[in-house]
Structure 1
Amino acid sequence: MYMIIENSPNTEPKGFVTFSLNERIPRILLWINHHFLLAEEYAPNTSSLYITFLCVRTDMKLVIKMQNNGQVRIQTDDIELAGNIIQSLGKFLKIEDLQTVGDFPQEFEILEQIFYQIEEYQTVRQKLSSDMAEHASIIRNFLIRAEDARLIGDISIMKQHYIDLLNLNHDLINGYQIRCTNHEELMKNLRYLNQIIQKAGNLRIGKYKTNTIKHCRAAIKENNAQLLIKSIKTGNV
């Protein structure tokens, strides 16, 4: 639920998306009154649109502006909310294709951290795989030496090899647990990237949405955070 609050340019959200509509402001007002649960109908007596909402659930601001020339600016730090608004507005106005430009600094900061973490997880996974292969070779050597010691009756040496084998087995178990945790974190970050692709796509409509999703997937495939951010901002590369 949203409530209308006083406009405050100095405390507006940093995230935004802009686009141009071939519509008049009264049509956007109709959409606002139809889709926002307001205590009373919003009907400003101004030549342009400038309204600030406060989300009661999240305590986050949402600002919607529109000029007479059809230029619209939606300000929110929630990229998902921005996409939902655009999809809702597009459906209401029956828009087939809509290109937008946006920037979501908070989301992009998280995105860069996710890419850094993924690179670290992949490095750890490669090292663990290498260590496990090396340990497997050492285990074979311990077993062979322990068996040789048993055959010649050197029980003390045989016991030592089995103790070493037990210690190595503990190391393997710990490494496996680290590998499982590492894999879970990696999958969580990859799911986040998949979600951000869908959110980025919702910032646009029609062919522009399709292009955005395509470019975002290509950027992730190249493991290129900056290219992904650019694709989200502009829908292009």
Structure 2
Amino acid sequence: HPAVNHVKESIAVPIIPARDTPVDLHIQVFVGFKSSTLFHVFELTRPLPMFSMYMMIENAPDQEPKGFVTFYLNERIPRALAWINHNFLLAQEYAPTAPSLYVTFLAIRNDTRLIIKMQNNGQITIQTDDMELAGNVIQSMCKFLNIDDLQTTGDFPHELEILQKLFSEIEEYQIARQRISSDMAEHSNIIRSFLIRAEDARLLGDISCMKRNYIDLLNLNRDLIHGYKIRCTNHEELMKKLRYLNQMVQKAGNLRFGKYKTIAINQCRAAIKANNAQLLIKTIKTGSV
């Protein structure tokens, strides 16, 4: 039991979901006297919506994120409001009176902004520098509104700049890997020749020549082991880059829904196979070539 000076009438427990996903919160509270052996149990279940880690804040047009994705829906603004009220943790129901929708959320995890806009003609713009978050919003919205297929266009300058650099790094790693493999193959041939010379010298009784060849063989073997370690490190880094590249493809796919999601993923993979960074970036922006 806590000390008397630590006892309070309320308790605050931080709950931080690691990902944007609906969470069922199950609470059990045991209540009793300090000397009690039996406690009264209070149970409560509270669902947390998918975007519970985003707090509604005042709009600030001068602080809008540069990344965005835009699309058109054959829906009215009240339907979008219903989705917002269902998927965000709000103190009270959000019901603006303006003719268009403009709402800003602050991500509690990293202090970034998420802005959702909707015009009367059905155009929706989601502004955020996090492509994964934009994809999660689109997937959630399409499922809530029962949309079968959705094509979008957008741009995420920061992440696409990283992607451009990543492509160059992958190419450098692949070139380095080929060079290291070639060097290792060459060293293997030289080692074989040193070994043959050393054995020939041993059979001929030329001990000094044998020692010299074995010393050269030892040094070359050390170089070969060092090259192998470099190759392993290079391979690990290359795999990290390729995994990140695959994650970018999945993010690009999640910016669309239905058949357009499949098309975008296939086009991205085709661009990667062709080693065409510009085509990949264009596909991420437009969803097609």
TM-score above 0.5, yes or no:
yes
Unaligned 5+ segments in structure 1 are none
2:257 to 202, 205, 209: 205
Structure 1 stretches of at least 4 aligned residues deviating more than 6 Å after TM superposition: none
- Equivalents in 2 of 1:69, 1:96: separation in Å? 19
Following TM superposition, by how much is the alpha carbon of 1:31 offset from its aligned partner in structure 2, in angstroms? 0.5
Greater displacement, 148-157 / 166-175: 148-157
Which amino acid is the alignment partner of residue 27 of structure 1? R
Unaligned 5+ segments in structure 2 are 1-52
Are 1:160 and 2:207 counterparts? no
Q: Identity percentage over the alignment?
A: 75
Following TM superposition, by how much is the alpha carbon of 1:64 offset from its aligned partner in structure 2, in angstroms? 0.3
Q: Which one has a larger percent helix, Structure 1 or Structure 2?
A: 1
Q: Deviations over 1:54-113 (max 9, x none)?
A: 011121100000111111100001101000100000001000011100100111011111
Following TM superposition, by how much is the alpha carbon of 1:22 offset from its aligned partner in structure 2, in angstroms? 0.7
Secondary structure of 2:205's counterpart equals coil
Q: Find the counterpart in structure 2 of residue 71 from structure 1.
A: 123
Are 1:11 and 2:75 counterparts? no
Q: Find the counterpart in structure 1 of residue 244 from structure 2.
A: 192
Are 1:228 and 2:280 counterparts? yes
Following TM superposition, by how much is the alpha carbon of 1:152 offset from its aligned partner in structure 2, in angstroms? 2.1
Are 1:101 and 2:153 counterparts? yes
Which amino acid is the alignment partner of residue 219 of structure 2? N
Q: Tell which has more relative contact order, 1 or 2 (C-alpha 8 A, sep 6+).
A: 1
Q: Would the aligned equivalents of 1:201 and 1:212 in 2 still touch at CA under 8 Å?
A: yes
Which amino acid is the alignment partner of residue 129 of structure 1? S
Following TM superposition, by how much is the alpha carbon of 1:146 offset from its aligned partner in structure 2, in angstroms? 0.9
Following TM superposition, by how much is the alpha carbon of 1:130 offset from its aligned partner in structure 2, in angstroms? 0.6
Secondary structure of 2:231's counterpart equals helix
Which amino acid is the alignment partner of residue 78 of structure 2? P
Which amino acid is the alignment partner of residue 53 of structure 1? F
Counterparts in 2 of 1:137-152, with a 5 A limit? 137-152=189-204
Q: Would the aligned equivalents of 1:100 and 1:234 in 2 still touch at CA under 8 Å?
A: yes
Q: Find the counterpart in structure 1 of residue 228 from structure 2.
A: 176
Q: Find the counterpart in structure 1 of residue 163 from structure 2.
A: 111
Following TM superposition, by how much is the alpha carbon of 1:192 offset from its aligned partner in structure 2, in angstroms? 1.2
Q: Would the aligned equivalents of 1:2 and 1:38 in 2 still touch at CA under 8 Å?
A: no
What is the number of equivalent residue pairs in this alignment? 237
Following TM superposition, by how much is the alpha carbon of 1:182 offset from its aligned partner in structure 2, in angstroms? 0.7
Q: Deviations over 1:188-216 (max 9, x none)?
A: 11111111111111111111111101100
Following TM superposition, by how much is the alpha carbon of 1:168 offset from its aligned partner in structure 2, in angstroms? 0.6
Are 1:41 and 2:93 counterparts? yes
Which amino acid is the alignment partner of residue 71 of structure 2? F
Q: Calculate the TM-score normalised by the size of structure 2.
A: 0.81
Following TM superposition, by how much is the alpha carbon of 1:151 offset from its aligned partner in structure 2, in angstroms? 1.9
Are 1:128 and 2:180 counterparts? yes
Which amino acid is the alignment partner of residue 221 of structure 1? K
Secondary structure of 1:146's counterpart equals helix
- Equivalents in 2 of 1:149, 1:71: separation in Å? 84
Q: Calculate the TM-score normalised by the size of structure 1.
A: 0.98
Greater displacement, 46-55 / 142-151: 142-151
Following TM superposition, by how much is the alpha carbon of 1:2 offset from its aligned partner in structure 2, in angstroms? 1.1
- Equivalents in 2 of 1:125, 1:216: separation in Å? 24
Following TM superposition, by how much is the alpha carbon of 1:142 offset from its aligned partner in structure 2, in angstroms? 0.5
Are 1:219 and 2:276 counterparts? no
- Equivalents in 1 of 2:93, 2:215: separation in Å? 79
- Equivalents in 2 of 1:30, 1:66: separation in Å? 13
Following TM superposition, by how much is the alpha carbon of 1:38 offset from its aligned partner in structure 2, in angstroms? 1.4
Q: Find the counterpart in structure 1 of residue 109 from structure 2.
A: 57
Q: Deviations over 1:175-195 (max 9, x none)?
A: 001111111111111111111
Q: Would the aligned equivalents of 1:97 and 1:208 in 2 still touch at CA under 8 Å?
A: yes
Secondary structure of 1:188's counterpart equals helix
Which amino acid is the alignment partner of residue 102 of structure 1? G
